[in-house]
Amino acid sequence: MKTTLTALITALAASTFAQQYFVQSPGGNNTIEVYTDGGLAYQIRHNNVMVTTPSPISITIDGKKYGETAMVADKKERSVDRILKPVVKEKRAEIRDRYNELELTFKNGYGVIFRAFDNGVAYRLFTELDGEVLVEAEEIVYNFTGDHPASVPVSDGFFSHYERGYTNLTISALGDIMACLPSMVTLEPNLKIARETEVKVAITEADLDSYPGFYLVKGAEKNQLVSTFPRYPKTTYQPTDRDIKVGERENFIARTAGTRAFPWRLMVITDEDRELINNTLVYQLGPEQAIENTDWIKPGKVAWDWYNMNNIEGVDFEAGINTETYKFYIDFASQYGLEYIILDEGWYDIKTNDLLDPVDAVDVQELIRYGKKKNVGIILWVTWTALEENADTAYEAFAEWGAKGIKVDFMQRDDQPMVDFYSRCAAEAAKYKLLVDFHGSYKPAGLRRAYPNVITREGVRGLENNKWEGMFSNPEYCLEMPFLRMLAGPVDYTPGAMANAQKENYNAVWNRPMSLGTRAHQFAMYVVYESPLQMLADAPSSYLKEPEVMEFLAPVPSVWDETVVLDAKYSDYVVIARRNGDTWYVGAMTDWTPRDLDVDFSFLPKGKYTIDIWQDGANADKRATDYKKVSTKIKAGEKMNIHLAPGGGWAAIIRK
């Protein structure tokens, strides 16, 4: 009786939007049902289970709400099945881009495109209006089928580092919370409506261009999430040497061309947690490549200074922000084949913002020359404000000096002018063959496909958060992040801590920081976390004391030809195998719960292999630095039981 009643209610709800169109994913997993009578709306089914009920779509431009009426003038359908070959292989060398598409053009100058993938659905609005327009609002609505659990990074406003932890609650409990993206809703098993397993629905966006990013808040209706946007800045002010905040805002969210496509609104939908990590839809929905020559774009690993505060030992000079210290970093990088070092904050005077006048203690051009002799490139940290002030000269000067990239920091906004800065920076850096690593940044939203020199970005509660009180970057967070934040794109978490602690032994020490979790937990991050520019965060002298550590960190690559997620459960554990060339790497991580897991080597081609393992030591539950290296033989198809300590990890290199 209840099932019949539910079906009747659903049918009555749908009758408000009687004119229907459909598009189904190639494998039949996901179906988008589009309604045009009574306004534009859509609903989603996943394997015949309702994910959302009819949810309206609209955009308000120059006082007119497009979507309130939806008189179809034209309908187009197409199917696409192609192979994408990313310039930078974050997850795999080839991505299958396979979807069915429905495009509806309406009579009053706007339209919508829907794409149905087997692992998600997306839509975007487009307009065909004259001249420049003001976008006053966009209505993005998710009418879920129940008061489901949600995992959201909570934001306290539109000025943010985007380094929030995940809060787990139900949709109704969101209250006044504003959630960053990606966020996730979990549809629990419900046999009454034939939902036998959990369905994870991750919400984010793609092809964000000259438009603000959106956030989620609780809607007025039951079980409803809706969008909110940072409005266009009217005034700004600078309270510190690096922050530019918005004072007053306009009554619109974007000033833009009247003829354009708007960002994709994406829902990743899966029955299996592992598929959140496998997903590449943000990249697939990104803009086409905007630069032709990409031969100069070189992924790699980086000896990074700021986490360890240039705090090296065993040298006969005073360590700090000076030429001698950075030459030591270059020597270390060269010894172990690391491609880059970063000169982080301090190489120029942040009070003057003169990027062409390094401080006296740092001879940048000498360091670049020295690094070139040793095959180590230099990446320069800058604030975005300094880069904007010096835009006419800085990019060109950095290229003339021979720098290989820039690390751009402290944007902390995603209103339209700031999103425009990201695109402008990416294009100008590409012009001068400079890599870009955005810090203090919003989540990836497809820019790296247009500009592959945007090689990684932060927007994550990275390792540096353990420098201050609060235990922010802990193993619980570290087992949530790869399922959600990493779904959007590369993540500059900056692993590699050599001082490691269990909860009871942890202290926040600014200039000699420690990580939460074990040493092997850190090793595993180099396989689990995707970042084509991957940091070694600790001091070179700490690594030099333990050559066994570098036997793993030196050869582990930062890009991958193939990825196989062997086992994964959101917020609990993950086991991933990745291939680069003929060599396989495996990483396993757990939260604070110790675990025994089976690693199934069926992913290996037939044959015998040598496996080198870096695993939690027998006492890692008490002394987190304790690890053990083991070498043995395995065959394809075998299984190996592994033990992970609390906050533990396991990493391996497999060679024929």
Catalytic residues: 409, 464
DSSP classification of residue 156: S
Cα dihedral 597→601→602→604 (10° resolution): 150
| CA–CA separation, 19 and 438 (whole Å) | 45
Q: Which amino acid is at 232?
A: Y
DSSP classification of residue 242: S
| CA–CA separation, 515 and 464 (whole Å) | 9
| CA–CA separation, 343 and 406 (whole Å) | 9
CB 266 within 8 A of CB 129: no
| Burial class of 217 by CB neighbour count within 10 A (0 to 12, 13 to 18, 19+) | middle
Enumerate residues 6+ apart whose C-beta is below 8 A from 426.
Answer: 436, 447, 450, 451, 453, 454
Backbone angles phi, psi at 7, to 5 degrees: -60, -40
Tell me the residue ranges of DSSP E strands in 220-273: 224-228, 236-237, 245-246, 254-261, 264-270
CB 434 within 8 A of CB 395: yes
Extract the tokens encoding 516.
């939460």
Residues composing the chain: 656
DSSP classification of residue 514: -
Enumerate residues 6+ apart whose C-beta is below 8 A from 151.
Answer: 166, 167, 168, 183, 184, 186, 480, 484, 570, 571
CB 93 within 8 A of CB 54: no
Look-up of token digits 């009053």? 108
CB atoms within 10 A of CB 516: 26
3-class secondary structure per residue, 393-441: CHHHHHHHHCCCEEEEECCCCCCHHHHHHHHHHHHHHHHCCCEEEECCC
Backbone angles phi, psi at 257, to 5 degrees: -65, 145
Look-up of token digits 């496996």? 611
Extract the tokens encoding 596.
């025994």
For residue 42, give the 3-state DSSP assignment.
strand
| CA–CA separation, 524 and 515 (whole Å) | 14
Extract the tokens encoding 133.
């327009």
